[in-house]
Amino acid sequence: MMTVDLAAQSVRDLNKALHECKENITEKEWVVTNPKGNHNIAVGLDAEISVDIHGHAGYFCAGMNKTANVTVHGNVGQGVAENMMSGVVRVKGDASQAAGATAQGGLLVIEGNAGARCGISMKGVDIVVKGSIGHMSCFMGQSGSLVVCGDAGEALGDSLYEVHIYVKGSVKSLGADCIEKDMRSEHIAELKGLLEKAGVDENPLDFKRYGSARQLYTFKVDNASAY
Amino acid sequence: MSNDTNNNPSLKESATFDRATMAEIRRAANTGIYDIRGFGAKRKVPHFDDLLFLGASMSRYPLEGYRETCNTSVVLGDRFAKKPIKLDIPVTIAGMSFGALSANAKEALGRGASMVGTSTTTGDGGMTPEERGQSSKLVYQYLPSRYGMNPDDLRKADAIEVVLGQGAKPGGGGMLLGQKITDRVAQMRNLPKGIDQRSACRHPDWTGPDDLAIKIQELREITDWEVPIYIKVGATRTYYDVKLAVKAGADVIVVDGMQGGTAATQDVFIEHVGIPTMAAIPQAVQALQEMGMHRKVQLIVSGGIRNGADVAKCMALGADAVAIGTAALVALGCNDPKWDDEFKKIGSAAGYYDDYQEGKDPAGISTQDPDLMKRLDPVDAGRRLANYLRVLTLEAQTLARACGKNDLRNLEPEDLVALTVESAAMARVPLAGTSWIPGQKF
């Protein structure tokens, strides 16, 4: 196990060392101490390694992650796991806004709450939030799944494409073109799998499903009031 | 007297409600939808034609046209990057997306640019192998939609351009209509085939210049500080935007004037938002100079560049390089009269075609139709682009030598005068034959 103390080394040194694992994995388990809210910790990883960050991280933690398994034992700032391609990012605390923005694959688990625009423009990632999410979450979400065990804020799924959204608690309001849909057996099975993958003990039958009404997929003047 | 007035000299067309204006009112009344089109602003705005060079004579020494060298190379992004970009000529190819353009067109742009040692730029929709393979220097656009964005391509790029806006539609996003969404485009953008694809107008994971500084740092970290980071803005409040871009950590700033082209947006946006390229450059240069960053953070300008005179004038006003989009497409074959019969079949004419969003381009450039795409030979089109880029460079060198400059970047505002009061005020150079710069003290 390799420990990097950010009180003694820079984020740049840390990221450089983690990037070198792409060519040659000298150490599979990494521990980061004293993150102290630094931005851009463990970004651009592309190796089958695990990184445990003990403390709070700032913006874009684990951004563009590929294959790595990153765990933050604390809270994270804006844009955690943004544009993640694969791997797993787990936040033990809360996440600020735009968690998982544009992410294309992998699994993002937030054990606390997530702020506004969670999963904005997501493109294939699976996001599981044990707590609640803020307003405008999943705005323009393209594909993947968003699971919320708590409540969702205003305008959930506005201008949604094909993301599957599952919410256990209340939804303050749905965004344009987002509607509640039937929970069919395949959705229950999908949700069960997502909860198991995330290590969250919830009953899939307690959730409601939301998705796109597909009325805004093609520009029509009849929809002018929705634009 | 034209036939459409029945040879009646008393008929008078309204300057306010001319025939084009009335046709648009009728079109709007019939459809209920605003006009969407490609290309750039078509209205006449103050432009580089309103500026003239003061060639050398007694008070300045010219350089010999065919004997004395005039450097055209420029290094971009040497502020932080380990590998700045060196261009052999100061004319680059602006970002244009695969999706809006055919794969052959993107390949041709790469081929042409590489032949003369300059860069080309990706666009919304990501990087194609054809483009990367044929571009010796490729700038990767990082856009609000993040369509096709992935860290592998990011690391393959020679520079990264964070796009905040473009001159044709500053403050606007985009829409790639369903008819251009083929299997390949849909796959790259991770969306269903055949549906309209909205491109966001602002980035999803940051707001404001302080956030942008962190985002730029993230991009540097992911690429191990190897490649330059550009920031591209549409020309509006250019003075302030450039100052904020420098503060956010840009290595290079790209300012795109309102004449800059687009693949598709509302006509009202193209014609009524933004400022002319000529007006934007002095604002950008002033901002850089006040921060002590002129020539340290390089300035690329684009929007309506057509010939070597435009290139030289941009550089005289303080740009380090220019970017071309529309002119590059014309060099490839866009709007070529040889397709005039086919343009007429789709209700247009060679030289007027701007419905890039429909994907029916007879020239095979702004289309994803497999049969139309085949009409553009990327090798031949790339050669034409290279020829055109060489002409731009030779023309700019001709003017620089005439002003006694052995480097295009030695051109300066003092080499220019303006033909009109408006252009003198915008370009901040004297009205020809006077020492008067409107808005400045005598």
Q: Is the pLDDT of residue B184 over 70?
A: yes
| CA–CA separation, B376 and B373 (whole Å) | 6
| CA–CA separation, A129 and A1 (whole Å) | 29
**Looking at residues B376-386, what average pLDDT do you find?**
97
- Domain span holding position A70: 2-226
- Report the length, in residues, of chain B: 442
Whether chain A has a CB inside 8 Å of the CB on B28: the answer is: no
Q: Minimal CA–CA distance to B323: which of B420, B271, B254?
A: B254
Q: Cβ separation of B205 and A82 shorter than 8 Å?
A: yes
Q: Which residues contact A186 (CB under 8 A, 6 or more apart)?
A: none
In a domain, B29, yes or no: no
Give the pTM. Answer: 0.95
| CA–CA separation, A134 and B242 (whole Å) | 33
| CA–CA separation, A6 and B232 (whole Å) | 33
Question: How far B47 CA lies from chain A's nearest CA (Å)?
Answer: 35
- Domain span holding position B78: 39-427
> Domain tally for chain A?
1
| pLDDT tens string A98-121 | 999 999 999 999 999 999 999 999
Collect all residues of chain B within an 8 Å Cβ-Cβ radius of residue A101.
Answer: 204-205
Residues 373-412 of B with CB under 8 A from A: none
Q: Is the pLDDT of residue B1 over 50?
A: no
Q: Is the pLDDT of residue B75 over 50?
A: yes
Residue written as tokens 């609000």? B144
How high is the ipTM of this complex?
0.95
Please report, as a single letter, which amino acid is at residue A138.
C
B266: three-class secondary structure by DSSP = strand
Test the B interface: residue of A9, A80, A123 with most B CBs within 10 Å: A123
Q: Which residues of B113-129 are buried (b: 16+ CB within 10 A; e: fewer)?
A: bbbbbbbbbbbbbbbbe
Q: Which of A23-27, B336-340, B382-386 has the lowest mean pLDDT?
A: A23-27
Q: What is the 3-state secondary structure (H, E, C) of chain A?
A: CEEEECCCCCHHHHHHHHHHHHCCCCCCEEEEECCCCCCCCCCCCECCCEEEEECCECCCCCCCCECCEEEEECCECCCCCCCCCCCEEEECCCECCCCCCCCCCCEEEECCCECCCCCCCCEEEEEEECCCECCCCCCCCCEEEEEECCCECCCECCCCCCCEEEECCCECCECCCEEEECCCHHHHHHHHHHHHHHCCCCCHHHCEEEEECCCCCCCCHHHHHHC
Bridge-partner residues for A148, per DSSP?
A129, A167
Q: Cβ separation of B224 and A64 shorter than 8 Å?
A: no
Q: Cβ separation of B204 and A117 shorter than 8 Å?
A: yes
Test the A interface: residue of B205, B207, B357 with most A CBs within 10 Å: B205
| pLDDT tens string B220-260 | 999 999 999 999 999 999 999 999 999 999 999 999 999 99
| pLDDT tens string B26-43 | 999 998 888 999 999 999
**Looking at residues B2-16, what average pLDDT do you find?**
83
Bridge-partner residues for A166, per DSSP?
A147, A209
Collect all residues of chain A within an 8 Å Cβ-Cβ radius of residue B152.
Answer: 46
| CA–CA separation, B309 and B313 (whole Å) | 6
In a domain, B20, yes or no: no
| pLDDT tens string B306-326 | 999 999 999 999 999 999 999
Q: Minimal CA–CA distance to B384: which of B115, B126, B195?
A: B115
Test the A interface: residue of B149, B197, B221, B225 with most A CBs within 10 Å: B221
Encoding tokens for residue A60?
A: 């874009």
> Domain tally for chain B?
1
| pLDDT tens string B154-166 | 999 999 999 999 9
Say which CATH number the domain at A110 has: 2.160.20.60
Q: Cβ separation of A12 and B154 shorter than 8 Å?
A: no
- Which band of pLDDT confidence, cut at 50, 70 and 90, is reported for residue B187? confident
In a domain, B11, yes or no: no
B14: three-class secondary structure by DSSP = coil
| CA–CA separation, B425 and B438 (whole Å) | 5
**Model pLDDT, residue B255:** 98
**Model pLDDT, residue B433:** 96
In a domain, B32, yes or no: no
Q: At B402, phi and psi to the nearest 5?
A: -60, -25
Q: What is the mean pLDDT of chain B?
A: 94
Nearest to B151 among A44, A58, A121 (CB): A44
Q: Cβ separation of A79 and B198 shorter than 8 Å?
A: no
Say which CATH number the domain at B112 has: 3.20.20.70
Nearest to A142 among B32, B190, B218 (CB): B190
Task: Report the percent of chain B where pLDDT is more than 90.
Answer: 83
In a domain, B28, yes or no: no
Q: Is the pLDDT of residue B181 over 90?
A: no
Q: Check residues B112 and A223 and name the one with the higher pLDDT.
A: B112
Nearest to A104 among B150, B192, B198 (CB): B150
- Which band of pLDDT confidence, cut at 50, 70 and 90, is reported for residue B378? very high
In a domain, B432, yes or no: no
**Model pLDDT, residue B183:** 78
Whether chain A has a CB inside 8 Å of the CB on B223: the answer is: yes
In a domain, B244, yes or no: yes
Per-residue pLDDT in tens (0 to 9) along chain A, 227 residues: 999 999 999 999 999 999 999 999 989 999 999 999 999 999 999 999 999 999 999 999 999 999 999 999 999 999 999 999 999 999 999 999 999 999 999 999 999 999 999 999 999 999 999 999 999 999 999 999 999 999 999 999 999 999 999 999 999 999 999 999 999 999 999 999 999 999 999 999 999 999 999 988 777 667 666 66
Collect all residues of chain B within an 8 Å Cβ-Cβ radius of residue A63.
Answer: 218, 222
